[in-house]
Amino acid sequence: MDTIIDAHLHFAAHEHMERAAAEAGHENTAEHQAKVFRECGIVRGIVMGGEGAPHLPASPTLFYCYGVRSEGLTPDNGGEELAQAEKALADPRCVGLKIYPGYDYSYPSDPKFRPFYELAGAAGKAVVFHTGDTAGNRGKVKYAHPLGVDEVAVDFPGTRFVLAHCGNPWITDAVEVAAKNPNAFLDLSGLAVGRFDPGELYTRYESYWKHIAMWLDYLSDDGKIMYGSDWPLVNLPAYIALMKRVVPERAHGLFFAENAKRIFRLPGLAP
């Protein structure tokens, strides 16, 4: 493994991110992020869009997924947001769409989202779902259960879907969706937060990490999994070291870089 692609990070200037970055031993600035990327050998990063397109630093290493603004969105009034998403997908730095079912109180199969899946598929770009637990207690996790992605993966076979956070804590269900559907993939971002000693954290929660490793073995397809950090919520060197323990060594090249190149079709990088 020579280089790393971080397939899941954030840029947002607000108090929560500032505090989380400090707790992770980082600074929530573009300059600090670029420095840590260089130190860790991270050559590309994909920023999740929140709502709309993130304010990216002027860096050739960063790409983004457009965050679909789904509050109040219905099949009848979604034309304007669909047009904004189409405009974003025409941007070479935009490699997909991001949808937040647990925060929007909408299942992935909600009809209001279906035109966005068609749009992404036609553009040859991916759709990323926040799956699993939500940050804070205002999310509704029933909407973010990874099994919700199965229906749309079946209905839109020409669109690539990514289950962010591997559906944690529903690892088994997320893996089943990826194993069953050729167009469904997993990122392993956000499985730890803050600053920690990787060896100590692995030992303390060894059964949890071995549970993940067991289901990755069940998946039997190293081409389905991607590294992502959830920057700035976690210390990057520590998280990379932790993931090296969790993911089998045979898969490190695919997991840390090659799969993200292919799944997100990153411009300037051969698949």
Predicted local confidence at residue 59, as pLDDT? 86
Predicted local confidence at residue 271, as pLDDT? 62
Predicted local confidence at residue 146, as pLDDT? 98
Q: Kindly give the parts of the chain with pLDDT less than 70.
A: 1, 270-271
Q: What is d(CA 162, CA 185) in angstroms, rounded to the nearest whole number?
A: 5
Tell me the domains of the chain and their CATH numbers: 4-264 (3.20.20.140)
Q: What is d(CA 104, CA 39) in angstroms, rounded to the nearest whole number?
A: 36
- Identify the residue whose tokens are 């700035």: 232
Q: What is d(CA 192, CA 198) in angstroms, rounded to the nearest whole number?
A: 10
Nearest to 48, CA basis, from 107, 7, 101, 108: 7
> What are the pLDDT digits (tens) for 33-81?
999 999 999 999 999 997 788 888 888 999 999 999 887 788 888 899 9
Could you give the C-alpha distances from 14 to 17, 31, 48, 63, in angstroms and in order? Answer: 6, 17, 15, 21
Predicted local confidence at residue 72, as pLDDT? 79
- The pTM of this model reads 0.96
